[in-house]
Structure 1
Amino acid sequence: MAVGMAGNDVRRAGRQAAGHPLFHRLSRAGLAAKGVIYLLIGLLAVQIGLGDTGEEADKSGALQTVADKPGGTVVLWLLVIGFAGLALWRYAESAYGQPGPDGRKATKRLASLARAVFYTVSCLAILAFVLGQGTSSSDDQSKEFTAKAMAEPGGRWLVLAVGLGFVGWGVGNIVNAARRKFLDKLNTGQMSSRTRKTVKVLGIVGRSARGLVFGAVGVFLAHSAITFDPDKAKGVDGTLREFADTPAGPWALVAVALGLVTYGLYTFCEARWRKIEVVRSGR
């Protein structure tokens, strides 16, 4: 009885904290930090498409770009705080539910938990970079994961499942972008008609580009599992560079890269208008 009451008190306190304006601001700061990362990845990929093969077009390259600029360390710490805010927001959603009438469904709460874990890993990776421990490229991380997984019993099937999961998630992003489902998660009533149209275009283009890239990442993971060759796996940087080898050449890479830049801009819009309130009732 006492344990149950204590548990209820903890949940109530957690829900109140998740509903606090400061928590909302931290969550929105996290969305802005996410926008910065995608914006930089897209710009780096554009440079690669135009002939500059310097920094990797992934999170490690984006962090190094920030670090090389005046005041970069301060910005990196802000990114750490922002991604911590993203993780906490998603953990709150997994515990109490997402905004909307079906926000407490198990599938939605599990999706929030998966995103929370992803943002936690991202936050720790940025923190390690700030503390001077560096971070490996997405290609190296993908190959390392694939090699370790395949060395274990059944690991090949795990890699295949992860690859197919990325493919499904990427396709889902493209379909939802085409159906404008992302608008349901925004406070569109707070936008002017012109702003709403702009945000809609940014969302359709940006989310489709992100879905295409991560779907392609999944294809390479699945291919590595099928061929039992970890070197076939690619991260974001390697996947983006593959677009330059299509019949459209480097311009295909530039087009996809600009799509990621667009997604970064759309994420800034999310930071302003995203519905971030968790379910308050205990239904």
Structure 2
Amino acid sequence: MDARSWTLRGRGRARRVADSTAMAAAARAGFAARGVIYVLVGVIALQIAFGGDGGGHQADRGGALDELAGRPFGSALLWAVGLALAGMALWQLSEAVFGGSGPGGSKLHERAAASFRCVFYGFVSYSVLSYAAGDKGSGSGASDRQTDDVTARVLEWPAGQLLVGAAGLAVVIAGLWICVRAVRRKFRQDLRTGAMSSGTRKAVEFLGVAGGVARGVVFAVAGVFALAAAVRHQPGKARGMDDTLRAFRDLPAGPWLLAAVAAGLAAFGLFSWCDARWRKV
């Protein structure tokens, strides 16, 4: 092999390393941004649990954006979060196209899941960047409005009840799957646990379990509301994140139950920051 070929191979290898490093940085920024949103949602929900109004914000992504916008340098923070989530979407796209890390990262179902997450984080990034650009329609209560609008529209379609019911059932199953995965600590296989001390590893596992269970419960309950909307043909029965969380408060011991879920969502936000530090990417 001549000197020119060696040079080209070296440049190609350096380019792949640079691309991999850039994608890892994008993923870690995305996890950090996701953590910010979940911590703020958890804090707002905790205030609502004990009779507060959440500072005038609703416990959803839009409410978190409203809260963030009110902070010093709020506009810059919104742009940073939106761009970081775009980085997360790009990383998920690379996982879908090239396969993820680990022995099972190239399996079809893993690639399909990465494709779904790419679309999801792309949408979330778009909503955050739209809000940062001045579109307040992505603000507090947006998840509830969007849920009502989409459910009402789909219910008007032929077989609309069946579609809404199937979507609700899928969300219930996804929520239960998230809970089971958290309890079984499946997230450990995605983390560089060897880089953690014993105490740090225990703290991260606690946050992963508590956060995953709370997130799964919220998903599952939201799915149940969607099923109710399908069965009764009433789009108002479907609920976004804020209305789903407030439903916990209406149960016996509701404030304490909502407080536990809120703390769990905040824990998931903290776990996302741990992902940003120790995730295998």
What is the TM-score with the length of structure 2 in the denominator? 0.91
- 2:106 is paired with a residue whose SS is coil
Q: Tell me the distance in 1 between the aligned counterparts of 2:264 and 2:50.
A: 15
Moved over 2 A (4+): 15-20
Q: Distance in 2 between matches of 1:102 and 1:263?
A: 24
**1:24 alignment counterpart:** 24
Cα displacement string for residues 1-32 of structure 1 (whole angstroms, at most 9, x for unaligned residues): xxxxxxxxxxx99x938852122112101100
- 1:35 aligns with 35
The CA deviation at 1:155 is 2.1
Asked whether the 8 Å contact 1:56–1:137 carries over to 2, the reply is no
Alignment pair present for 1:162 and 2:167: yes
Q: How many residues align?
A: 264
1:175 maps onto 2:180 in alignment: yes
Contact 1:18 / 1:89 at 8 angstroms: preserved in 2?
no
Map 1:201-220; keep pairs closer than 5 Å.
201-220=206-225
Equivalent position SS for 1:234: coil
C-alpha distance in structure 2 between counterparts of 1:34 and 1:56, whole Å? 17
Q: Deviations over 1:97-128 (max 9, x none)?
A: 11111211111100000000000000010111
Q: Percent identity?
A: 45
- Matched residues in 2 for 1:124 and 1:92: separation? 19
Pick from 126, 129, 132 the counterpart of residue 128 of structure 2.
126
Q: Distance in 2 between matches of 1:50 and 1:17?
A: 50
Whole-Å separation in 1 of the counterparts to 2:18 and 2:144: 36
Aligned to 1:49: 49
CA–CA separation in structure 2 for the residues paired with 1:197 and 1:18: 33
8 A contact 2:83–2:129 mirrored in 1:
no
Q: Which structure has greater helix proportion?
A: 2
Aligned partners of 1:149, 1:125: CA distance in 2, in Å? 22
- Structure 2 match to 1:281: none
Deviates more, 1:250-259 or 1:132-141: 132-141
Residue equivalent to 2:232: 227
Separation of aligned partners in 2, 1:17 and 1:94: 19
Say if 1:18 and 1:24, in contact at 8 Å, map to a contact too: no
> Where does structure 1 lack aligned partners over 5 or more consecutive residues?
1-11, 277-283
Within-5 A mapping of 1:138-149: 138-149=143-154
Residue of 58, 61, 64 corresponding to 2:63:
61
CA-based RMSD of the aligned residues comes to 1.6
- On the 8 A contact 1:138/1:236 being kept in 2, the answer is yes
User: Structure 2 counterpart of 1:181, which letter?
Assistant: K
Q: 2:29 is matched by which residue type in structure 1?
A: A
- 1:72-100 CA-partner distances (Å, limit 9, x unpaired): 00100100111001100100000011111
Structure 2 residues not aligned, in runs of 5+: 1-11
Q: Which moved more, 1:213-222 or 1:17-26?
A: 17-26
CA separation in 2, counterparts of 1:148 and 1:142?
A: 10
Asked if the contact 1:167/1:216 (under 8 Å) is kept, the reply is yes
